[in-house]
Amino acid sequence: MRYPRPLRLEHNGMFQRMGLNMAAAREEKPRGPESSSFSPPRHTSMLPQSPTLPWDRFSNWLHCICVVTFDLELGQAMELIYPGHIKLSEKEKMNICYLSFPDSNSGCMGDTQFCFRIRQSPGRKAPSHTDTQWERDAPVYLHRDQAHYYGYVYFRQVKDKSSRRGYFQKSLVLITRLPFNNLFNFLAEIVAPEYFDNGEPCLEAACHDIDQWPSPQPGETLSLPMMGMVIQVRLLSKQDKLATTPVQVIHQQSTSPIPAPYVLPSLHEVDVFKCLHPVLPHVQMLWELVLTTEPIIVMAPSPTVCSETVLALTSMISPLNFCSDFRPYFTIHDSEFKEYTTKTQAPPPVVLGVTNPFFAKTLQHWPHIIRIGEMGNIVAGGRQVLKTKKSSSLKTIDAKPGVYTTYKPFLNKDKNILKRLQKGIASRRPNEVQTAMLKRYLLELTQSFMIPLERYVASLMPLQRNVSPWKQAPRLKPFEPEEFLKTVEHSGPQLTSGLRGDWEGLYRRFFRSSNFEGWLRARQQEVDDKLQALHLEALCDAVSTYL
């Protein structure tokens, strides 16, 4: 089977000139610009039983793959987009190009991986064939993003005497709506080096393999073929407990001639301990800032460090979904640059990851700034502790690493977890164990905060005896913040958490955040769906009794 070659930008009108009729394609064998027919797929066991068009299964996972290169006259330029029929707006292309290269001050030689997140152009819709089972049964924090694209970048910069500039500089970028951080980083790590060394045929082969993958199935362990190997990963469902397993790639040993699969223990989780190690003494305060969607800047020396730190911050409140905006890697060329740097209004509730020293001055009015040094040195030595400083202290680009904020936490600091983690650092406890400890602490903290809210919402449910076939389906009673706060003193988080402090004040701030709005909207929809189902059941019973 030979798939159409990537469509270069100068031939964007090819598909229009060919006059492809997609309706007719459903009846006839699909044809590509360079192939007369499609041969049977290689991985027949992986195919769903229902007929699909070419690229339908590919688009269940990725939107497209872009290759960005450095042009002496244009700077960063889009070299190709694959599959060729995918259309990106000019703004999307521009953002992808600029975000696919590290800032010049980063000095990233060799291979560098990181991710970014951009807004989709207005009016763009998700593919109509997308399987809704994933949105229905997967955890909300793993749903497809209907308004943004994630970009998973593999950037290579090496000396090249044959280049006029003296360097080979190119990025391969996976563009997707799915926040599967580990899977797509690993996928880029497989595909990009092969593409850089051997060219477009490798990209064709990789995309062909992805187009044989089944749709994401919540609760299933999938074996995904990729360029001669198999990636094995389990996809979470709503029924799963939040895992606290280490994040690392496992290569299973086997005596079989068939290659053993590479097992990804986690689809999406970043190494929380490694990323938050520099700010460990302030992890509880940062949890409050993320919970209440406060504006946060992460300044780091490389896009890898800043993007991983931003992802770690937004995951601190899991399983509660972070409903505000976040940009793991942000540059001065981003189309939202003016929106985020204006001083005429309060900073928006967004978490930004930046590397350009220019932001130290431009964004010094932001209320919460995290400045991180080289991640490798910090984690290896375990010596550097970032202190909390007033945000007004960040006046120059030479400011020292630290957490710059005037925020006063609502909760008293939990010194016990800090002592346990520091003891682990001193005794060189494995990083995986430290990560599991920190994740469990954050999970229990979030659950202690959310359980009273869940209990209160449950009390707003109409009684089942009020569901009548002769009336409209009942609705969930309105959420009254003041009524809820009256319950905090006797049945609040203190029942499950040993932390003391102003829980009521923290709830009040949470109620003003998009995290609360997103959570309440999801719970209301879930309850309304259940009430509609009960009402329909009552109607059916009434009709059955009548007959």
| pLDDT digit string, tens, across residues 164-204 | 777 889 999 999 999 999 999 999 999 999 999 999 999 99
- Mean pLDDT, residues 280-306: 96
pLDDT score of 147: 93
CATH number, domain at 73?
Answer: 3.30.450.200
Q: How far apart are CA 353 and CA 327, in angstroms?
A: 6
Q: What is the C-alpha to C-alpha distance for residues 79 and 85, in angstroms, rounded to an integer?
A: 15
Give the C-alpha separation, 238 to 282, whole Å: 30
- How many CA atoms are closer than 13 Å to the CA of 107, on its beta-carbon side? 4
Give the C-alpha separation, 495 to 489, whole Å: 10
Rounded mean pLDDT, 462-484: 82
Q: Is residue 17 part of a domain?
A: yes
Provide the pLDDT for residue 397: 44
Question: Is the CB of residue 355 less than 8 Å from the CB of residue 300?
Answer: yes
Q: Which residues pair with 351 in a beta bridge?
A: 296, 326
- Determine, yes or no, domain membership for 412: no
Average pLDDT of span 442-454: 96
Residue 324 within a domain: no
Q: Is the N-terminal amide bond of 319 cis, ω within 30° of 0?
A: yes
- CB-CB contact of 326 with 306 (8 Å): no
Is residue 201 helix, strand or coil? helix
Provide the CA 7 distance to its chain's centre, in angstroms. 28
Report CA-CA distances (Å) from 273 to 326, 383, 420. 20, 15, 13
Residue 281 CB burial class (10 angstroms; 0-12, 13-18, ≥19): middle
pLDDT(47) > 70? no
Specify whether the CB–CB gap between 311 and 270 falls below 8 A: yes
Per residue in 208-247, pLDDT tens?
Answer: 999 999 999 999 999 999 999 999 999 998 887 654 444 4
Higher pLDDT, 18 or 133: 133
Residues composing the chain: 547
Mean pLDDT of 469-481: 83
> Can you tell me the distance from the alpha carbon of 85 to that of 12, in angstroms, rounded to the nearest whole number?
8
Count of CA atoms in the C-beta half-sphere (13 A) of 136: 6
Higher pLDDT, 471 or 176: 176
More confident residue, 74 or 256: 74
Q: Residue 97, CB half-sphere, CA atoms under 13 Å: how many? A: 20
Domain boundary among the residues 194, 216, 238 is at 216
Residues 341-347: contacts with CB under 8 Å, at least 24 apart? 346/295, 347/295
Here the tokens at position 279 are 């700010």
The answer to whether 456 and 270 are in contact (CB under 8 A) is no
| SS3 category, 342 | coil
The predicted pLDDT at position 473 comes to 74
Most confident of 66-80, 245-259, 340-354, 436-450: 436-450
Check pLDDT > 90 for residue 4.
no
Write the CA distances from 390 to 365, 396, 399, 495, 509, integer angstroms.
11, 14, 12, 34, 21
Does the pLDDT of residue 38 top 50, yes or no?
Answer: no
Question: Do 196 and 203 meet the contact criterion of CB atoms below 8 Å apart?
Answer: no
CA distance to 125, 135, 145, 290, 297, per residue, from 317 (Å): 29, 20, 18, 7, 18
Of 129-133, 249-253, 477-481, 515-519, the one with minimum mean pLDDT is 249-253
3-state secondary structure 387-400: CEECHHHCCCCCCC
- Rg from Cα positions in the chain: 25
pLDDT digits (tens, 9 = 90+) for 487-541: 998 888 988 888 999 999 999 999 999 999 999 999 998 888 888 888 787 778 7
Hey, what amino acid is at 522? Answer: A
Question: What's residue 383's pLDDT?
Answer: 35
Higher-confidence residue of 386 and 421: namely 421
Domain ranges, residue 506 = 455-546
Nearest Cα residue to 327 out of 317, 338, 313: 313
Residue 541 CB partners (closer than 8 Å, separation 6+):
469
Weakest-pLDDT range from 9-13, 133-137, 433-437: 9-13
The answer to whether residue 531 is domain-embedded is yes
Q: Is residue 420 a part of any domain in this protein?
A: no
Give 335's pLDDT tier (boundaries 50, 70, 90): confident
Task: Examine the pLDDT at 441 and tell me if it is beyond 90.
Answer: yes
CB 312 within 8 A of CB 275: yes
Band of the pLDDT at 399, cuts 50, 70, 90?
low
| The overall pTM is greater than 0.85 | no
What percent of the chain shows pLDDT beyond 90? 55
Written as one letter, the residue type at 182 is N
**For residue 82, is it within any domain?**
yes
Q: How many domains does the chain have?
A: 2
Give the per-residue pLDDT at 209.
Answer: 95
Boundary-marking domain end, from 184, 216, 248:
216
Nearest to 489 by CA among 479, 499, 503: 503
Q: What is the mean pLDDT of residues 411-437?
A: 92
Q: Which pLDDT score, from 0 to 100, does residue 20 have?
A: 33
Per the prediction, the chain carries an average pLDDT of 82
* Domain final residue pick, 176, 201, 216: 216
For residue 189, list its beta bridge partners.
none
Residue 354 has pLDDT above 90, yes or no: yes
Which pLDDT value is given to residue 160? Answer: 80
pLDDT tens sequence across 248-280:
444 444 444 456 788 998 999 999 999 999 999
Distance of alpha carbon 531 from alpha carbon 477, whole angstroms: 12
Q: What three-state secondary structure class fits 98?
A: helix
Q: Is residue 228 part of a domain?
A: no
Q: What is the mean pLDDT of residues 128-137?
A: 72
Residue 248 confidence (pLDDT): 47
Give the list of residues 6+ apart from residue 238 with CB closer than 8 angstroms, or none. Answer: 137, 138, 139, 218
Look at 67 and 39; give whichever has higher pLDDT. Answer: 67
| Residue 391 counted as domain residue | no
